[in-house]
Amino acid sequence: MVDWRDPDVIAFDVEVLLHVSTILLGFYGWYFLTSLSDIEIPLLFSQLRFKFAYFPYLLGRYILLLDLILIFVSTTDRNPMNCEILYRLCAILGNAGIGIASLNLMLRSFVIWWYNKPVLVFLVAVCIPQWAIIIWTADSPGAMWDPVKKTCNPMALTAELIEALYSYTIAFDLTILGFTIWGLRTIGHSPMRTVITMQGIWYFVLTSIMSIVNMVFARLRLNYVMDTMFALPAVTISVIVSSRAVIVLRSMNDFAGPPPDESNAAQGRSDHWWRMIWPQRTECGEFTTEDGILAVPPQDDSEVHPRWDRRWEDWSSVSVATQPAPDVQEVRLSLVQTGSSMATTMTGVCSPSEITSDNSERCR
């Protein structure tokens, strides 16, 4: 029977933890560098417009990278004065990474339910306790310097705090998944619904498994090292999977499938969220962009007669009428963005005076 409290066993566990952190640093460093071209480089060269949804994505990536680097530095630092400071900072960054990973998933539910303020308030209210636990744990972790082996041994959080953090994270992620799937019911069967649903399910399964493993080892209380042996792999997996969810949605160029039913309005639901992530299809025309993402303001903000006699200088300024004019039976508008300029092509049944364009016009 292994005596987990034996100093030699604890020293061996510390050595294993250091090797695990080094492997994770190499793995995540490789992933970080290979994924720079997805968001960071396009933002740096103004090829991608910054959106608020990218903030938690970027924050989570750099917090985890800093966390892994500091853990690696702590393995080579032989200064007893830096021992507790480094490990406390690493624990804070790691716990923050867990919250940011959940925040990445919650923002997608925000996009889907942004027209429903009670749902948004509920999601924010559910998010606050998770961050309260994360802040609460900031004063708990520490480290102990071993003068014999000249190593810095991490001191785990109490089992109650570990269980509270990971059990609430599981419940929070399940709530996000439920609201996401519930909100996607309005678009019927489509590739986007399948992708978002499968991403949410796989994220929940992976993070739940890692969270349960952490809670089990915390409850066993083998020693202060084994209590958090799997915490670093858990936060690494959470940040990577949640980051991939953001990247995959941005990289989807071709969304197929029908728009929400017209009965949504009668049932008190809005399809404005769909206009932000789906190629716009109405009775007047079809809007597509290079990355399949187009922000269209609500119809209440502006009324645009489908004569299309305006310059398309800004994607966010695009607005459409839900019903064609009486003298226009069919109008199809395609927007193609080339650098900073934009080309437009229009076809439709109309009178020549009803459709104007900077580039072309054609009436049958």
Domains in the chain and their CATH numbers? 7-251 (1.20.1070), 279-354 (no CATH)
35 in Cβ contact with 247 (< 8 Å) = yes
CB 137 within 8 A of CB 59: no
Residue 121 has what pLDDT?
A: 92
Q: How many residues does the chain have?
A: 364
The CB density around residue 130, as the number of other CB atoms within 10 Å, is: 22
Name the 3-class secondary structure at 23: helix
CB atoms within 10 A of CB 208: 15
Alpha-carbon distance 97 to 134, whole Å?
10
Rounded to 5 degrees, what are φ and ψ at 284? -90, -30
**Confidence (pLDDT) at 188:** 57
- Contacts for 258-263 with beta carbons within 8 Å, 24 or more apart? 258/187, 258/188, 258/190, 259/187, 260/186, 260/187, 260/188, 261/186, 261/188
The tokens 């009324």 sit on which residue?
Answer: 303
In this structure, of 117-126, 180-189, 310-319, the range with the lowest mean pLDDT score is: 310-319
CA distances from 12 to 9, 23, 204, 230 (A): 5, 17, 32, 15
pLDDT of residue 228: 78
Residue 254 has pLDDT above 50, yes or no: no
Whole-number pLDDT of residue 99 = 92
Token pair of 35 as six digits = 């994924």
Tokens of 45: 């060269």
Q: Scanning the structure block, which residue is given the tokens 């994924």? A: 35
**What average pLDDT does this structure show over 69-91?**
77
User: One-letter amino acid identity for 241?
Assistant: V
Max alpha carbon distance in the chain (Å)? 90
pLDDT tens profile 260-315 = 333 343 343 333 333 333 333 333 333 333 333 333 333 343 433 333 323 333 33
Instruction: Return the pLDDT at 286.
Output: 37
pTM, full prediction: 0.66
Residues contacting 325, CB < 8 A, separation 6+: 305, 306, 307, 354
pLDDT over 70 at 178, yes or no: yes
pLDDT tens figures, 214-249: 888 888 888 877 887 888 899 999 999 888 878 876
Output the average pLDDT for the chain.
Answer: 68
Residue pLDDT, tens place only, 333-344: 333 333 333 333
Whether 140 shows a pLDDT value over 70: the answer reads no
pLDDT, tens digit, 9 for 90 and up, residues 37-66: 888 999 999 888 888 778 999 999 999 999
From 256, 56, 85, select the one nearest 154 (Cα to Cα).
85
3-state secondary structure 173-216: HHHHHHHHHHHHHHHCCCHHHHHHHHHHHHHHHHHHHHHHHHHH
